[in-house]
Amino acid sequence: MESKPPDATAEVTLDVIRYLERLAYLQLSDADRSSLVGDLTKVLSYARSLAGLDLSAYASQTHAMDQANVTRADEVHPSSTLEQALANAPQVASPYLQVPRVLE
């Protein structure tokens, strides 16, 4: 298998799917690979059809909506006390919340 990526304008082939499979660390069945050839061909065909649209009447945009960075000022608010925070906890190992072990 070649190490360089396939040409972006090339047809979607099993070699392209195998290349993407290797990049994504996937192990696909032959049936999945064949299915992906058809699916990706349809997706890329649609994307290529968009390239033919005349968009000259529209201004380029970086965002869908004309909004500036909408933020609010940082304000200090009172927070819960340790006792309030632990009051409804299912398990407490004071002064901490006790949670089930997820790593061994």
The whole-model pTM stands at 0.50
Q: Which two tokens stand for residue 34?
A: 């064949």
CATH number of the domain at 25, please: 1.10.20
The answer to whether 33 touches 17, Cβ cutoff 8 Å, is yes
Tokens 């000022």, residue? 73
Residues 6+ apart with CB under 8 A from 51: none
Tell me whether residue 59 is in a domain.
no
Tally of domains within the chain = 1
pLDDT at 6: 67
Tell me whether residue 37 is in a domain.
yes
With cut-offs at 50, 70 and 90, classify the pLDDT of residue 101. Answer: confident
Tell me whether residue 23 is in a domain.
yes
Closest CA to 80 of 62, 57, 97: 97
Model confidence pLDDT, tens digit, residues 24-39:
999 999 999 999 999 9
Number of helices and strands in the chain (H, E)? 3, 2
